Structure 1
């Protein structure tokens, strides 16, 4: 396979079983990783077999560069010092970007599977649909069918001249500021969500909304859709509920505050730094 499409999603394995197949295994929402000489990697089939652990909720995710990818969960205690448990936010700072996104896919898939064990319509037990091409949970009584879903959320870098709008969320650590973000309401366009979220959280209006990029965000099942926008009108007035402080910051101020990461919010801030 060439590098045009790196990951091929699939319900069933696309290749013969191989020692190099990837296994994304979670315990208590933390991913098992393999560490050697200070380098973090994803365990392969040959590594997992050596551990002799019991794995449940096993799902085939698809294939990456000719190797099958699986995800699952386990409860066993790891007695191999080379294998460690790591939360995904920490992982994002320790591993190559494509592997982080694969781990995110695994977490999203397992979250969906665990959240749909019982039918939301009649309460009966759900089971995995037997299909080579369709991933779905089906109710054993009323046939209600549920497919993997993701919750869209916008994240936007708002500029005013040569300054960037940054806000401090109540849940952030002291001193941390970021761009505005929020979930899309049902029946709402992405652009409408950008306008509403910025206005609700900091009281200003924006214009010239432009698409920037997207990123799966498995906390627990979001898709972050990034935008840039320009200030139109109003004075900053934080909502006092979610946002407790916000202000316009110069490039020099942003550089002193910014901690680079793999997140889309970080990418938007870096866009501002490079552009202004």
Structure 2
């Protein structure tokens, strides 16, 4: 299985508890990590057990290379030189993509649990369903059931010959740009969303929309679906609310305008740099 699926999701542990199991523990929305010889690592149970801490909201995530993965929250103060607490954006710059995605999954599961303590229908207390195959919260009064949900969003690299469309969002640091992105509306296909978002944000029409890849994005619970597309018609006219400036940039100009990271937005820009 490891050769095909490195991580196997599961509501219940797939293996006997082991001191080698991975534990993704959060405090104030920051992940506890070990720092060893300049590297950041996810703690195993053998690292956590000696800390004598209380763990809340424990959930099984699945199995990674035949080791159980679990997540939970702590409130205890930990004063160990080799332990730090990092937010996920910082973590993304320090670990490989697989480690980051598993940490993101842990954060998503914990947030889902916290946001569904009470029923959205009758307001009664919810409880975790005892199931080997189904992850769900059930209302103790009316039986309303809710499952983990993901909010799909598109992100697209639009090219015009040897230039790439980049936009400066009002929340970006000064001088930084990225590709166009936005949430999918109910009843909307991904492709239609790509067309709409580009037209709404910068006023141009596009063609040759092609799937690029996807990436979970825990801010707060998105699934980013990446595309490439080509310019068709129109002049750039930003919406002035979300997007403050947008333009076509050459490879040489693009290099200084974005922050390289493991995000799919960065991957799309690097795809352009490599192929144009």
Which region of structure 1 is more displaced relative to structure 2, 60-69 or 248-257? 248-257
- Measure, in 1, the Cα distance between the counterparts of 2:242 and 2:159: 21
User: What is the CA deviation profile of residues 136-163 of structure 1, one whole-angstrom value per residue up to 9, with x for unaligned ones?
Assistant: 0001111111011000000000001110
| Aligned counterpart, 2:77 | 77
Answering whether residue 6 of structure 2 is matched by residue 3 of structure 1, we say: no
Post-superposition offset of 1:57: 0.6
Answering whether residue 63 of structure 2 is matched by residue 63 of structure 1, we say: yes
| Aligned counterpart, 1:225 | 225
| Aligned counterpart, 2:53 | 53
Post-superposition offset of 1:20: 0.7
| Aligned counterpart, 2:141 | 141
Unaligned runs of 5+ in 2: none
Answering whether residue 191 of structure 2 is matched by residue 188 of structure 1, we say: no
Post-superposition offset of 1:3: 2.1
Post-superposition offset of 1:258: 3.1
Match of 1:85, SS?
Answer: strand
| Aligned counterpart, 2:98 | 98
- Measure, in 2, the Cα distance between the counterparts of 1:3 and 1:260: 29
Q: How does 1:2-21 map to 2 (within 5 A)?
A: 2-21=2-21
- Measure, in 1, the Cα distance between the counterparts of 2:58 and 2:2: 27
| Aligned counterpart, 1:111 | 111
Post-superposition offset of 1:85: 0.4
Unaligned runs of 5+ in 1: none
| Aligned counterpart, 1:240 | 240
- Measure, in 2, the Cα distance between the counterparts of 1:90 and 1:148: 25
- Measure, in 2, the Cα distance between the counterparts of 1:236 and 1:75: 50
| Aligned counterpart, 1:129 | 129
Post-superposition offset of 1:37: 1.0
| Aligned counterpart, 1:42 | 42
User: What is the CA deviation profile of residues 65-95 of structure 1, one whole-angstrom value per residue up to 9, with x for unaligned ones?
Assistant: 0000000111111111101000111101101
Match of 2:223, SS?
Answer: strand
Post-superposition offset of 1:256: 2.7
- Measure, in 2, the Cα distance between the counterparts of 1:258 and 1:198: 19
User: What is the CA deviation profile of residues 183-225 of structure 1, one whole-angstrom value per residue up to 9, with x for unaligned ones?
Assistant: 0000000001000000011111111100000000011100000
| Aligned counterpart, 1:264 | 264
Post-superposition offset of 1:260: 1.3
| Aligned counterpart, 1:155 | 155
Match of 1:256, SS?
Answer: coil
Count residues in correspondence: 276
- Measure, in 2, the Cα distance between the counterparts of 1:203 and 1:116: 39
- Measure, in 1, the Cα distance between the counterparts of 2:183 and 2:2: 35
- Tell me how large the CA RMSD over aligned residues is: 0.7
TM-score (norm 1): 0.99
TM-score (norm 2): 0.99
Post-superposition offset of 1:121: 1.0
Match of 1:62, SS?
Answer: strand
User: What is the CA deviation profile of residues 7-59 of structure 1, one whole-angstrom value per residue up to 9, with x for unaligned ones?
Assistant: 11101100011111000011111100000111000000000011111110100
- Measure, in 1, the Cα distance between the counterparts of 2:19 and 2:96: 21
- Measure, in 2, the Cα distance between the counterparts of 1:105 and 1:198: 29
User: What is the CA deviation profile of residues 232-261 of structure 1, one whole-angstrom value per residue up to 9, with x for unaligned ones?
Assistant: 111111111110011100011112323210
